[in-house]
């Protein structure tokens, strides 16, 4: 989607392993059979993919020195694994946050529609928009400009508190959204803390994020921070 041919950095067999695991977790012996490789060969590739934080393993059972292990795509690497294997779902969701007005962008009700237009002008069709807002946000005005499919409303102070339920659930929310679509994050946000947290999550999940602002001539611009 963004990095030019990321799959070139991974051997064909590792890409095949990722592609199979994107369908769901498998026990190691079943995974070896699916990709047609020996146990020793699978172990080599799994160690490489695990070191890259693309997959994870968990022990299902142990008998003496023998353990039964299940392999799955790391929950933070689902979108990146799809990019590496060229198996994008072809669906994109825009995650944004806004309140009333922002010092850098002005009327925040324009932000979702503006972000969607910028992305689609660059070839990324947005199928859904999910917004985090405050109770006093300009949500109704925003919905006059573009369809917002899902809304989460939290008090403003929750966006300033790293221990709030909101901040603690952002990672899980992205994981859930990635099951059905590729995620784009608008980090312009409501607060500096939220912006920092979203940029951090973009790096952890290896997914695109951007910032909306205005030029000196009052023209909107989109700045990619991670792509």
Domains of the chain (ranges; CATH) run 6-85 (1.10.10.10), 92-226 (3.40.50.10770)
| Residue 7 burial (10 A CB sphere; 0-12, 13-18, 19+) | middle
Does residue 60 surpass a pLDDT of 90?
Answer: no
Angle at which helix 39-51 crosses helix 28-35, to 10 degrees, equals: 100
pLDDT single digits (tens) 78-89: 999 999 999 888
Which of 87, 15, 9, 67 is CA-nearest to residue 45?
15
What local confidence, expressed as pLDDT, does residue 186 receive? 97
Does residue 227 surpass a pLDDT of 90?
Answer: no
pLDDT category of residue 63 using cuts at 50, 70 and 90: confident
Angle at which helix 78-85 crosses helix 12-21, to 10 degrees, equals: 130
The more confidently predicted of residues 68 and 23 is 23
What local confidence, expressed as pLDDT, does residue 99 receive? 87
Cβ distance 166 to 133 under 8 Å? Answer: no
Q: What is the pTM of this model?
A: 0.85
pLDDT single digits (tens) 184-214: 999 997 899 999 999 999 999 999 999 998 8
pLDDT single digits (tens) 94-105: 999 998 866 556
């Amino acid at each position: 989607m963004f990095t030019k041919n990321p799959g070139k950095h991974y051997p064909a067999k590792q890409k095949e392993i990722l592609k199979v695991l994107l369908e769901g977790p498998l026990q190691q012996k079943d995974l070896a059979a699916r990709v047609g490789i020996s146990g020793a060969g699978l172990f080599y590739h799994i160690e490489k993919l695990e070191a890259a934080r693309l997959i994870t393993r968990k022990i299902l059972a142990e008998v003496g020195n023998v353990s039964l292990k299940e392999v799955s795509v790391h929950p933070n690497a689902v979108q990146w694994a799809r990019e590496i294997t060229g198996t994008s779902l072809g669906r994109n969701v825009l995650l944004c946050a806004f309140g009333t007005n922002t010092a850098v962008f002005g009327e925040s009700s324009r932000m979702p529609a503006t972000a969607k237009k910028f992305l689609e002008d660059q070839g990324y069709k947005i199928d859904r928009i999910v917004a985090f807002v405050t109770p006093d946000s300009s949500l109704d005005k925003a919905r006059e400009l573009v369809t917002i499919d899902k809304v989460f409303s939290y008090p403003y102070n929750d966006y300033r508190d790293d221990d709030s339920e909101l901040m603690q659930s952002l990672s899980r929310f992205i994981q859930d959204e990635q099951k059905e679509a590729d995620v784009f994050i608008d980090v312009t946000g409501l607060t500096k803390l939220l912006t920092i947290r979203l940029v951090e999550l973009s790096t952890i999940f290896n997914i695109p994020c951007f910032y909306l602002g205005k030029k000196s001539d009052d023209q909107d611009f989109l700045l990619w921070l991670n792509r």
